[in-house]
Structure 1
Amino acid sequence: MEKAKISASQLFILMVLFELGSALLVPLAIDAKQDAWLAILLGMLISLILLFVYHQLYWYYPDLLPTQYMQRILGKGIGTILGFIYILYFMYDASRVLRDFGEMLLAFAYPDTPLFIANALLMLVIIYTIRKGIEVIVRSGELLFLFMYVLAIIGFILIISSGLIHVANLKPVLEDGMLPVLKVVFTQTLYFPFTEVIVFTMILPYLNNPKKAKITMFCATGLSGINLVITMLINISVLGVNLTSRSQFPLLSTVQTIQVADFLERLDVFFMLAMVIGIFFKISVLFYAAVIGTANLFKVKSPSRLSYPLGLVVLFMSITIASNVQEHLHEGLRVVIFILHIPLFAIIPILLLLIAFLKNRKKLRG
C-alpha cells in the first residue's frame, strides 16, 4: 500500500461515481419491463446485506488489504490463489467497462475510428492517474462529482420542460406479479452495479476514519440506487418499454428527444460528458485495485511500475473480450453474473466472514 489517506466524504463521492459509471449506459433491469425501477430499488436494498459482509471483513482486518486477510483466513496457499482470482476479476471488469466506453464513443460520434484507438486514449489517461496515487483519484472525483450532478439536474429540467414524460408508460405496475421482478433482482441488479463495490475493500484501508466506513458505504449505495431508479423511470416514461429495451443506450436516446422552444436540441454532449466521467472513475478504481493487489501479492515495492504492463493487458482484453457489441452485452448481462458475480460477490465473502468470525471468537476466548 502507498502511504496515503482519504476522508469519508471522498470515499462517498468515489463510490457514487463508481456505481453510476456504466450502469447509466445500459438498459438496466429492463427484463422487468415497466417495473425495472422497482427491480433496481430492491436490488439496492438487498445489496446492503452484502455490503455489511464486506464491512465486517474490513472491521476484523482494518489495516489489511483483502489479498492479505484472505491469506490469514484461509492460509497462505489458498488465500494467495483466491486473492489472485479477485485481481483477475478486477482487470476483467475494467476491460468490460472500457469496452462499454469504446462502443459508446464509436456509436455516438466516431463511427470510423478503430475501437483500439478510442480505448487506448482513455487507458493512457487512467494509467497516468493511477501512477499519481489514490489521493489524486479522489481529488479528481471531488472536482467532477459536482459537475456531473449539475449536468444531470439541467438534463432533468430540460426533459420536464420538453413535455416528454408520459406516466402512462409506467403502468400497469406489477402486471405479471412480483416473481419476474425478483428474478431480475437476484440475477441482475443485486450484482450490477451495487455489489461491484466489493472492489472498495481494496481502498477501505486508506480511510482516515474507519468508524465512518459502514455509513459511508450505505449512503453512497443509497444515493446511487435512487439516481438509477430516477433514470430508469425517465427512460421508460419518455421512450416506453419497447424502445428502451431495443435501444443500445436508452439514456442517450432519451436525451436526444429533448427539444425546448424549437431551438434547444441535440444535447447529446450532456450525456457524453456524464458517461465519460462515470466510466473514467469506474475503470480507475478497478484498475487501481488490480495494481495494488498485484503489488501486495507479489511483493512489488513500487506499485506504479505495474500500471503500464497491467494497463496493456486491460486494453487488449477490452478488444478481444467479444467480437461485437451484441456478444459483449450478452456476456455481461447473462453469462458473467452466474459464473463470476454470484460466487465472487456473495458466496465467497460470506464464507470468508464465517471463517473469520470463528477464528476471532477463538482468539477472544483465548
Structure 2
Amino acid sequence: MPKERISSLQLFFVIVCFQIGNTFMYNIGSGAKQDAWVVFLLSMLGGLFLMYVYIKLCGYYPGDSLIELIPKIIGKFLSYPIILAYIIYFTYLAAKACRDFGELISATILDETPMEVVIGSFMILMIYCLRGGVEVFGRMGEVVFPVYIIAITVVWILLSTVDQFTLENLTPVLGNGIKPVLNEVFPTVLTFPFGESVIITMFFPFLVKGSNLKKVGFAAIMMTTFLLIMNIIMVISVLGPEIYRDQFFPLLSATRMISIADFLERFDALIILMMVAGVFFKVGGWTYGAASGIAQVLKLKHNRSILLGLGSVIAPLSLIISSNQIEYNEIGLEIVPVYFHIPLQIIIPLLLLIIAMIRNKMNKKRSK
C-alpha cells in the first residue's frame, strides 16, 4: 500500500474524536452513581498503560501496523487466526458504532425514518470519505475537533445556568465505597473507550517521520479523560446520579433542560450534531482499520475496493447484531467486553509485547 502521511496533531485529533465517539452518548460509569467521574480517572491509568503497550509493541517494528507485525513476532502459521480475529473485531465494532448512530437518530430527530435508511445513508457518506485516504480522514479531525471543543464548552456553560444545577449532586465522594467504582472500571470503562485505542496501531505507520508516538498517544488519553470527566460532572450536577443512571442519553436529557429567558431553547440539536460527528470518527476508525488489515494480508496496493465491500457488510450487520435495544445493551455490556475487548485489547497485545521483547534481547545477544 502507498504510504500516505498524517501529522502527529492530526492523529491526536482523530484518536480523541474516536475515543469520545459514542461514549458521550451513554451513561457510562453510572453504576458508581455520583462517583462516575472517579471511574474515568482510575480508568485513565489503565488506558495509559495500554497505550504504552501499543506504542512499545509498534516501536519494535517501526513502519508496520498491528496486522503486519503479528507474523513477524509469532510466525505466519500462528498469526493468521489472530489477524482474522482482529479484522472481524474491527468490522464488528464498526457495525456496533453504526447501530449506535442509528439508535440515536431514530430516537430523536428522525423517529419516523426507517433505521435501514439512516444507517445506509451514513455508511455511503463514510465510505466516500475513507476512499479519499487517511490524509483526508486526518484533515477532517483537524477541522472537526476545534469546533467540537467550542460546541461542548458552550453546552457546559449553558448547563451551569440550569436551575437544578448543583455540585452537591457529586457528593459524598466515594460515599458507597471503592467497590462500585472498581466494578465499573474493569472491564467496562477500561475497555470502552480507553482499550479501543488499540486502533491507533493501524495508524502509526502513516505518521510523518520523527513524530513522537508517546506524546501523541498519552496526550490523546489524557485529553479524552478530561473531556469525559468534565461532561460527567456537568451532567450529574444537573440530573443527579439516579436520573443519570436511568437515562439512556443523559447529556441529551440534561441539555433539553436549558432555557435562556424562556426564549432560547432546544439546544439538543447541537448535542445530536456533536454525537453524529463523534460516531463518524468511531465508525471511520474501525472501518479503516479493518480495510487496511485486509489489504495488508492480501498485499493490495489500495484498500478502496475493500472499503466498498466492507461498507456493504457493516451496514446490514449493524441491523442484525440484535433484535431490540435491550438485547443490544446486554450484548454490549456483558458479552463484548469479556469475550472480545479483554482478549484483543489487553491479553494478546501484552503477549505479543513480551514475545517481541524476548526476541529483541535474543537478537542483540546473537549480534554480539
Distance 1:195 1:210 in 2: 25
Query: Which residue of the partner structure matches residue 168 of structure 2?
Result: 168
Query: Which residue of the partner structure matches residue 309 of structure 2?
Result: 309
Query: Which residue of the partner structure matches residue 37 of structure 1?
Result: 37
After TM superposition, the score normalised by the length of structure 1 is 0.98
After TM superposition, the score normalised by the length of structure 2 is 0.97
Distance 1:270 1:113 in 2: 20
CA contact (8 A) 2:160 2:234 kept: no
Query: Which residue of the partner structure matches residue 236 of structure 1?
Result: 236
Query: Which residue of the partner structure matches residue 183 of structure 2?
Result: 183
Q: Does 2:97 align with 1:110?
A: no
Query: Which residue of the partner structure matches residue 51 of structure 2?
Result: 51
Matching residue's letter, 2:291: V
- Displacement, 1:177? 1.1
CA contact (8 A) 1:295 1:302 kept: yes
- Displacement, 1:210? 4.8
Deviates more, 1:293-302 or 1:276-285: 293-302
CA contact (8 A) 1:62 1:210 kept: no
- Displacement, 1:9? 0.5
Distance 1:81 1:225 in 2: 33
For structure 1, which runs of at least 5 residues remain unmatched after alignment?
none
Matching residue's letter, 1:352: L
Query: Which residue of the partner structure matches residue 23 of structure 1?
Result: 23
Query: Which residue of the partner structure matches residue 325 of structure 1?
Result: 325
Query: Which residue of the partner structure matches residue 341 of structure 2?
Result: 341
Q: What CA RMSD, in Å, does the superposition of the two structures yield over aligned residues? A: 1.1
Q: How many residues align?
A: 366
Distance 1:214 1:274 in 2: 28
Distance 2:210 2:32 in 1: 38
Question: Segments of 4+ in structure 1 off by > 3 A?
Answer: none
Matching residue's letter, 1:265: E
SS at 1:25's partner residue? coil
CA contact (8 A) 1:51 1:217 kept: yes
Matching residue's letter, 2:249: F
Matching residue's letter, 2:337: I
Matching residue's letter, 2:260: V
* 1:183-202 correspondence runs (5 A): 183-202=183-202
Query: Which residue of the partner structure matches residue 142 of structure 2?
Result: 142
SS at 2:131's partner residue? helix
Q: Does 2:57 align with 1:70?
A: no
Q: Does 2:14 align with 1:14?
A: yes
Query: Which residue of the partner structure matches residue 359 of structure 2?
Result: 359
Deviates more, 1:350-359 or 1:320-329: 320-329
Distance 2:223 2:24 in 1: 14
Distance 1:209 1:176 in 2: 49
- Displacement, 1:211? 4.5
SS at 1:271's partner residue? helix
CA contact (8 A) 1:64 1:205 kept: yes
Change (3 A) 1:3 1:211: closer
- Displacement, 1:164? 3.6
- Displacement, 1:2? 3.0
- Displacement, 1:68? 1.5
For structure 2, which runs of at least 5 residues remain unmatched after alignment?
none
SS at 1:132's partner residue? coil
